[in-house]
Amino acid sequence: MVLVGLAGFVRALQWYFDPFREMDRTSAIAASTRPPSPISPRGRQPRALPAAMPEELALLDARDVSLQIKAAETLLARALTPDLVATVEAKLRTRPDPQVEALLVCVKSRFEGPGTLEYLLTRFPGTREGFDRRLSVDVSCVLDALVERIADDPARVTTALLPVIYSRDRTARHKVVQAFRLVDLPSLPAELAGLGREPGQPLHEGAVAAAMALGAIRYDSALVDRALRDPALIGVVAEDLRTNPHPNGARVLAGVWADQPLDTRYAQLARSREGLLHDVSAALVEIVRSTAAAEPRRVAAARHLATLGEVGALRELSAFGETVEGGDLKAAVEAAIGQLQERRRTGARDQMRALPQ
């Protein structure tokens, strides 16, 4: 029996140091928490992971830490069998070498069941400082696992992932923002809700991106307005403002464009949203008719209506034009009415979508 055991151990050593397998080990960690796609590019089911061999599991208890590391790396590419789960759990309880522990955390991040989510949440850094440097192997694996499980407990996982948005790692930030787009919380997290209400306080790009992904257009239009006016953040909010059908998007965009009528970036964004959702024109009509708005803003909104060419604005503009007194606003409204009437005569259709109050 001793000879058989020694023979098995030698075979395991040979297997680990096989040069043809070395390339597979380098990619095992990166792939460990990414579940296989349900359908491969060619439509075939992905190949199932092989079960761990007894020798592979036994090497976790080798005296040589380098062998333990290689064993842990190998288990990243093995199926989650009861033997593997039990072996990994037992090894983690012994507080192994930090490198071995980090790899086993990656293995455990794939375990099923609610207990795994609790484990992941306790292993994840809870402050921004935990993401000031390059992510360690285990933190990176836990991050990927939490992103995959965000639907299991949206509120708690979102709170846990929030510190990542301040990370210098753009890839990590992108993963978290994309995960946030998969949940529908009843409000913005408190950490993000006040971002647009601190005069003079610079906005953080990652925080704005996270807020947009979590529904800032619905919940905090002041934040979106402030970010849109910041040249460094226009790109962060532009796509949501172009495509999100919530009426706050049209109103924020129309308001900023009316305040800065010569900025071509706002003009392009407004035309793009109007062509897709047909509601920027309705938001501009609201500004024209608002007695609370400054006259230059109302004048600019009327001129923008002529630029957009949405004939659906004609009825409200015509009714308003009969009541407004002379001046720049009257002239801008009449000019817009004239241009829109010409467009209607040439066959333009009414596509304007009214905004709810």
**pLDDT tens sequence across 160-190:** 999 999 998 999 999 999 999 999 999 999 8
List the structure tokens of 82.
């009861």
Question: How would residue 199 be classed by pLDDT, with cut points 50, 70 and 90?
Answer: low
Helix axes of 154-161 and 170-180: crossing angle, nearest 10 degrees: 160
Amino acid identity of residue 319, one-letter, is A
Phi-psi region of 187 (alpha: psi -120 to 50; beta: other; left: phi over 0): beta
**Residue 2, phi then psi, degrees to nearest 5:** -65, -40
Residue 23 has pLDDT above 50, yes or no: no
Per-residue pLDDT of 147-162, as tens digits, reads 999 999 999 999 999 9
DSSP code for 149 = T
* pTM score, whole prediction: 0.83
For range 289-306, the mean pLDDT:
97
CA neighbor of 195 nearest in space, from 217, 211, 214 = 211
Cβ atoms 71, 60 nearer than 8 A = yes
Per-residue pLDDT of 33-82, as tens digits, reads 444 333 233 334 456 999 999 999 999 999 999 999 999 999 999 999 99
List the structure tokens of 308.
């957009």
Q: Dihedral sign, CA of 283, 288, 291, 296? A: positive
Maximal C-alpha separation, the chain: 105
Structural domain boundaries in the chain: 56-108, 255-357
Half-sphere exposure of 292 (CA within 13 A, CB side): 2
Cα distances (angstroms) measured from residue 81 to each of 72, 84, 319? 15, 5, 73
The terminus-to-terminus CA distance of the chain in angstroms comes to 82
CA distance 25 to 35: 17
Cβ atoms 250, 283 nearer than 8 A = yes
